[in-house]
Structure 1
Amino acid sequence: MDLMFFAHRSHLAHVDTELAKQNLGRAHHRVVYFLGRHPEISVSELLDVLSVTKQSLGRVMRDLMDRGLVSGRVGERDRRQKLLSLTDKGRALENALFEHLRSNMANAYQAAGETAVTGYWIVMQQLMRAEAREQFRRLHSRQ
């Protein structure tokens, strides 16, 4: 547990600093991350993935939309559905925030080697509840 705590804290330190400069926090970070990885995700899917209330997500989304980082459009098949994406400005923020994280992960993977990385993926998936593993699989099957 200590390893996870200190690794997580260190891994996100740069992102936390950059977010703070813009008066943004971890909730904004999570939304920007998932919209960057899954453009045109529906509000309901995002609520499900983040496991937050509609009210909580609403505050963060209003902030991101007011800043011109996120846009939403009505679904083509279901007009009740709202599909969310990053704007060009949002993608620039996502790239700036996650460039460091991607580099950090790549360095760690390279230092650990293929066998350790495979083991890491197994450990991480086994730490997830069954419904989280299913969400993970669903999200990654769309890519």
Structure 2
Amino acid sequence: MDDRREPSLLFLTDEQLKKGIEAMYFAYRGFTADPDRILEKYGYGRAHHRALHFIHRTPGTNVNNLLAILSVTKQSLNRVLRTLIEDGLVDSRVGTRDKRERNMYLTEKGQALEAELAEAQRARMRAAYRDAGPEAVQGFRQVLEAMMDPDMRRHFNTLKDPD
């Protein structure tokens, strides 16, 4: 399939764009509400969730890769990782190629929490996708990808599609 698209004229008013922005805010609140309730039981926040997600998606990832994906400070990421390691959710191993590097893996406990969080979000997305229909799903993904900064799009494209 040819990825080159014919430019199409799409005229949106400022009011329509504001509505889209507001929809993104409220959708994000809904998308994070279920995991937030789960995380609260453990005393974790969204940074912990994101770390668990991307360690799950890229087992063996290192701190520098997580820093690039999450766009947080090293101090902030270290605080999150330290907690996850101390609580037995993440295993930090010495790098095989570079002994200074630390590679992160989820433990069984970490995999269980990540699966619980992911299922909550999948259930919400599955219901929304079912209600919106297949064309809307494709269009939504195109809009999201178009909104990504080029560096983030590169990270996104390096993630392998699950199963």
2:125 is the alignment partner of 1:94? no
Higher share of residues assigned helix: 1
> Aligned runs of 1:33-112 on 2, under 5 Å?
33-112=53-132
Aligned twin of 2:160: 140
Alignment-mate amino acid for residue 126 of structure 1: A
Q: Structure 2 counterpart of 1:127, which letter? A: M
Aligned residues: 143
CA distance in structure 2 between the partners assigned to 1:47 and 1:11 by the alignment: 23
Find the structure with the greater CA-based Rg.
2
Sequence identity percentage: 45
TM-score (structure 1 length as normaliser): 0.93
Structure 2, unaligned stretches of length 5 or more? 1-20
Matched, 1:127 2:147: yes
What stretches of structure 1 of length at least 5 have no aligned partner? Answer: none
What is the DSSP-based 3-state SS (H/G/I as helix, E as strand, rest coil) of the residue aligned with 1:52?
coil
Q: 2:32 maps to what in 1?
A: 12
Give the root-mean-square deviation of aligned CA atoms.
Answer: 1.7
Q: Once the two structures are superposed, what CA deviation does each residue of 1:38-78 show, in whole Å capped at 9, x if it has no partner?
A: 21111111111001111110001111111001011122222
Quote how far apart the aligned CAs of 1:85 are: 0.9
- Find the aligned partners of 1:94 and 1:142 in 2 and give their Cα distance: 14
TM-score, normalised by the number of residues in structure 2: 0.82
Counterpart contact for 2:57–2:159, Cα < 8 Å: no
* 1:30 equivalenced with 2:40 (yes/no): no
Query: What code does the residue aligned with 1:56 have?
Result: S
Encode CA deviations 1:64-114: one digit per residue, 9 max, x unaligned: 111001011122222222110110000111111111111111121222222
Aligned counterparts of 2:58 and 2:82: Cα–Cα separation in 1: 19
